[in-house]
Chains A and B, each alone.
Chain A
Amino acid sequence: MIHPTSLEELQSAVRELDRVIVRGSGTKSAMSSSANLSTADLSGILEYDPSEFTFTARAGTRISEVKELLAKSGQYLPFDPPFVQAGGTLGGTIAAGLSGPGRFRYGGVRDFLLGIRFVTGDGEIHAGGGKVVKNAAGFDSPKLMTGARGAFGVIGEVTFKVFPEPREYQTVIVSFPTADEAIPLMARLAMSNFELACLDFVMPGQLQLRVGGLHESLERRVDRIKSFIGRTCEVRSGSDDEQVWHNAREFTWVPSDATLIKVAINPRQIVEIERSLEKSSASHVDRRYSVGGNVLWLAWPNEKTSEKLGRLLTSWNLPGVAVRGEPWGILGPQNKGDVFQQRLSSVFDPLNKFQRNDRRTANSH
């Protein structure tokens, strides 16, 4: 494993290696188990001016360090990156394309990433995007890097947009006997103008929603939401509120012998997914519908095999990516954007250095 400490060393490393799989701090183990290049030592916050709402840091910087610094000025990362306590890095979060439950309010990692410096497959350092909060010049390569698992380059330096963080939060929890009853309420809440910070449905039957804002208004906002729901609600505040979302962000609910799978879904598909899991005797699999039902986090038991999961995902016509656990890559249906992706790969990775062994990468079919 090579541990570059500067962009130039990162460039040399990419030039030396025939094949490059990058690892930040290894929190997304399913994506980095075969890594030969680490950005863990390529770290440090380079620029931060709270009044700009932006910061620039090296890719291996731990998110916990960023959060701590931002908090001093009352700011935060609105996309709510996961694996913070576990040690997740900025670069790893971008490459894995992961956002947490808090992305419900303002958007995901792609929406807050402004600029990037990266090393291409032929060992050149390039920049894309910019360092200001608004920029429409040139091709948006920062977005291309998001979720690409390193297929287009090794991320060296990143610039993010940040926001002032709500001063206080409260969480409302509602229990349901079945998903069928909870899902329509989740849709109504997602359409409402309550401006929820988070909206998750945790199987077997708990709707969890978070409200953030000023102390003066929070109580009244929560009361109005409770009467909108019209059922018995449990309200959590302070550290009890934080605990709920810490557990979601750190995936404390995923058993150690399971692989964490991310599936991007549309909320209307939840009912079908639930039926299908039941039919294939998988209704006991731990899972969470996050971001108002736009993400399914599935803790797939390793003993149940990736083939079985792949068949399920194909039947839903939804790709899923292994995040932590077994290195299963992307499972499920073929990507309909492959031609576009291949053409981009021919420029970002002309020597196929970033190609992965799993079935679905930029250059293999």
Chain B
Amino acid sequence: MTQAFVEAIRAIYPTDRCLTGKAELAPYESDGLTAFRVHPIGVVLPTTSEEVIASIRLCHQPGIPFVVRGSGTSLSGGSVPIDGGLVIGLNKMNKILRYSPEERIAVVQPGVINMRVSQAVAAEGLYYAPDPSSATVCTIGGNVAFNSGGAHCLKYGMTSNHVLGLKVVLPDGEVVEVGADSLEQVGADLVGMFVGSEGLFGCAVEITLRLLPKPEKYYTVQAAYKSLAQAGEAVSLIVASGLLPGAIEIMDRLAMDASDAAVQANYPKDAKAILIVELEGPTEEVDAETPTLLKLIEESGAYRIDVAKDAAERLKIWTGRKCAFSAVGRLSPDFIVQDGVVPRTKLGYALAEIDRISTESGIPVANVFHAGDGNLHPLILFNGREEGALERAEEVASEILRLCIKLGGSITGEHGVGLEKRAFIEEMFGKKDTDFMRQIRAAIDSAEIANKGKMFPDLQAPALTHRGLHPIEQQGIAFRN
């Protein structure tokens, strides 16, 4: 059957866009979650929606599983191939099909790189708000599948809040259009239901994005604290003050060390925590809000406050923050990133617990997080060459996820469940609601072939291996969020 399938697939594509050789397939064996590697039966690189539809229809009949992927930056293993399955790589579908600044929309193909959207619309003073740290390489299609976030979600929401319409190929090759090109909808919000379905509902081949006017002024402050608790206290004060910053981020000492090693961020040597707060908006408004923010930061015990004087200084602050994850690779040969969420008021408690778990297990954990949303990003450091180290790190990661569930939060704020956290979906939602979601999946995809084995526990589980950073991170092209 496989041979007949491969031949049928080959008939659709020219040889340079249908990869089946071992060496050709190697780059597609993994994604941002490098601990998993699976060898697919083939990789196809469509350039049109018709090719995507034809490929998915071919998979449906014999029940060949498929994974649709963009740049493969998923941190939850969402785009890891399926054993015996096909990979549909959409990077060649990278055109902006329509852009209308007056309507504040852009219609794009799924392979368009996130950052390219903002670049393409910058001349008209617009931008695309969701900004995952991998924005320079990750694709909009992947963002849609995993409802990606970024540092500015508190104010502007996640990917889902910026997608107005979709043309979708369902897992049996049926094509549907949901939403349109308006901020509003009539009827059920099918767009919202599709976004974040992690490839289980098929794939989007056209995506209508909402664009926002770029804020006139940014005011970015970086404050240093002698304790993590003080930085956490500052967040509470800011939130209670009535200000609505675009971003509120915190890094702990270990994360600062990593960033320093990678981009010479020059954090104060004796700081135990760094708080980054960004106000944005019309100049008059930001200027009026600034004194309140500075006063709160001073009151919270910051001993050093740096304000970005220009765009270059702002970029430097954000580069230090956004590279922190990948930079951890300089401190440790291997690491696991989690992105659980806790209610914001429980942040202090959660961090203390993570510290306890780290101390008790002897496994160092660096913390970088979207403090405004309670979205943690513990980086669990280990050396995969040591016998059992990966398993011990996984155990620490599991304890942290359980902590998030116990505190009423979520196992994932922006990376998705994917392959990595599928064992926890039932712990978060309970058996009944998980089974209900499985039923939904089965109704959309009767053959259960679209991104098979993701989101829900499955009999097929690829073995964990330690592999260090992804090649694109080693080269400093993209960072983790």
Contact = CB atoms under 8 A, between A and B. Distances in A.
Contact of B436 (A145, A191, A319, A347): A347
A266 interface: yes
Contacts of B433: 126-128, 138
Interface in A192-250: 192-195, 213-214, 216-217, 220-221, 224
B182 A294 contact: yes
B333 interface: no
A321 to B, nearest CB: 5
A321 B157 contact: no
Given A126-B432, A147-B189, A217-B287, A136 B196 contact: yes
A54 B408 CA distance: 13
Interface string B122-160: 001110000000000000000000111100011111101
B345 interface: yes
Given A136-B147, A163-B244, A191-B124, A321 B192 contact: no
B373 A133 contact: yes
Given A52-B345, A336-B176, A321 B282 contact: no
Interface in B389-435: 408-417, 421, 425, 428-429, 432-433
Contacts of A136: 146-149, 158, 196, 410, 412-417
B370 interface: yes
B228 interface: no
B187 A330 contact: yes
Contacts of B288: 213-214, 216-217
B157 A360 contact: no
B305 interface: no
A221 B341 contact: no
Contacts of B170: 339-340, 343
Interface residues of B, number: 97
Contacts of B455: 138
Given A52-B345, A191-B126, A131 B192 contact: no
A142 B341 CA distance: 18
B23 interface: no
A217 B289 CA distance: 9
Contacts of B105: 266
Contact of A147 (B161, B185, B244): B185
B197 A143 contact: no
B437 A138 contact: yes
A137 B373 CA distance: 15
A93 interface: no
A50 to B, nearest CB: 7
A164 B361 CA distance: 41
Interface string A322-340: 0000000010000111111
Nearest to A263: B186
Nearest to B445: A343
A97 B186 contact: yes
A359 interface: no
Given A135-B410, A136-B147, A216-B288, A193 B215 contact: yes
Given A134-B149, A147-B189, A51 B196 contact: no
Contacts of A124: 432, 436
A141 interface: yes
A340 B176 contact: yes
B16 interface: no
Contact of A140 (B155, B177, B196, B429): B196
Contacts of B157: 107, 111
A320 interface: yes
A341 B192 CA distance: 12
A287 interface: no
Interface of A: 49-54, 74, 97, 99, 103, 106-108, 110-111, 120, 124, 126-128, 130-148, 151-152, 163-164, 167, 187, 190-195, 213-214, 216-217, 220-221, 224, 262-268, 291-292, 294-295, 318-321, 330, 335-341, 343-344, 346-347, 360, 362
25 contacts: A124-B432, A131-B343, A131-B408, A134-B410, A135-B409, A136-B412, A138-B433, A143-B193, A144-B192, A146-B185, A147-B185, A147-B187, A164-B242, A164-B244, A192-B125, A213-B281, A224-B282, A262-B184, A264-B180, A291-B183, A319-B187, A337-B179, A339-B170, A341-B190, A344-B190
Q: Which 7 pairs across A and B sit closest by C-beta, in order of nearness?
A: A143-B192, A148-B188, A264-B184, A336-B177, A217-B284, A337-B178, A294-B183
Given A128-B433, A341-B188, 14 more contacts: A131-B408, A136-B416, A138-B429, A143-B189, A143-B191, A144-B193, A146-B192, A190-B104, A213-B282, A263-B186, A291-B183, A340-B194, A344-B440, A347-B439
